[in-house]
Amino acid sequence: MCEFVDDGASIFPLTLLQSCMVDSWVEWAEDYKPFSMRPFGDRQVWIGYDPAETGDCSGMVVVAPPLVPGGKFRILERHQFRGMDFAAQAAFIKSVCDRYWVTYIGIDVTGLGSGVAQLVRQFFPAVTTFSYSPEVKTRLVLKAYDVIHKGRLEFDAGWTDMAQSLMAIRKTVTAGGRQYTYTAGRNDNTGHADLAWALFHALHHEPLEGQTTANTGRMEIY
C-alpha cells in the first residue's frame, strides 16, 4: 500500500499526490466509458511509454489532456508489461490507438525502447522520441512537478501502483558528481518507476509554460 512507502526524499511525496486521487467512476462518469468501444468518444488522448530495463516492467499511460489551457490532465489507463517482446508491446499500443483518438505518443529510446518505437512509427509516424540525459530528465520531471503542484493531474485513488511509481522518483547526482539528475529507487513494486516516466513522456507534450498559440509543434528530444 502506498501509505507505507518511504517518500522522505521523493520529488512527489504522498502529501502532494493526494490531491490527484479521485473516484474516477464518479468524477469522470459523464465523458469516460471505460468498457465501451470508444471509451473517450471523439476526444483526443496522449500516450506515454517507458521501456523495460533488465528484469523490469515497461509502462504505458493513456492521458486525457485538458480542454482549456491550465485545465486538468486525467490518466485514463495505465498498463505494465513484463516479458513481452517488441512486437507484442507495439501491437498493444496499436490496440489503444484503435480505441482512442490518439494525437501524440512519447517513447524513451535510450535503450530497449528503440525497437518498440520503430514498430510504433509504422502506424504512428509522428511518434516523439526521448534520448535520456540529465538535461532531458530534468525537463521531464520539472514539467510533471509543475502540473502536479498546480493540482492539474487526476488519477483513480485505487491506483496505488501509480502513486508508488511517482513517489519513487528521487533527485541525485550523476556518477561524475557534476550534474543533478533524477532516478528511481528500484524495488519489486515500482521497478524503475516505469509508470511515472511514461506519464512524464505524455505530459511533456504540453510545453513547460503551458499551451499557447505559439507552441503547438512537435520535436525529437536528444
- pLDDT at residue 38, rounded to an integer: 97
Radius of gyration from C-alpha coordinates of the chain: 16
Side chain identity, residue 166: L
- pLDDT at residue 106, rounded to an integer: 98
Residue 100 is classified by DSSP as S
- pLDDT at residue 189, rounded to an integer: 53
Work out the number of other CB atoms within 10 angstroms of the CB of residue 131: 14
Kindly list the strands in the beta sheet with 73-81, ordered across the sheet, starting from the edge strand earlier in the chain. Answer: 21-22, 153-156, 73-81, 58-64, 44-50, 101-108, 128-130
Residues of the chain with pLDDT under 50: 1-4, 190, 212-218, 222
- pLDDT at residue 3, rounded to an integer: 42
Q: Report the alpha-carbon angle 215-221-222, nearest 5.
A: 145
- pLDDT at residue 64, rounded to an integer: 98
Q: Report the alpha-carbon angle 45-13-70, nearest 5.
A: 40
List, for residues 161-184, the tens digit of each pLDDT value: 999 999 999 988 877 777 788 888
CB contact at 8 A, 187 and 161: no
d(CA 211, CA 104): 15
- pLDDT at residue 216, rounded to an integer: 46
Q: What SS3 string covers 197-221?
A: HHHHHHHCCCCCCCCCCCCCCCCCE
d(CA 75, CA 61): 7
List, for residues 48-80, the tens digit of each pLDDT value: 999 876 556 899 999 999 999 999 999 999 999
- pLDDT at residue 54, rounded to an integer: 59
- pLDDT at residue 181, rounded to an integer: 81
CB contact at 8 A, 212 and 69: yes
CB contact at 8 A, 11 and 170: yes
- pLDDT at residue 187, rounded to an integer: 54
The set of residues, in sequence order, having a beta carbon less than 8 Å from that of 6 and lying 6+ positions away, is none
Catalogue all structural domains in the chain, each as residue range(s) with its CATH number. Answer: 2-203 (3.30.420.240)
Work out the number of other CB atoms within 10 angstroms of the CB of residue 72: 17
- pLDDT at residue 212, rounded to an integer: 44
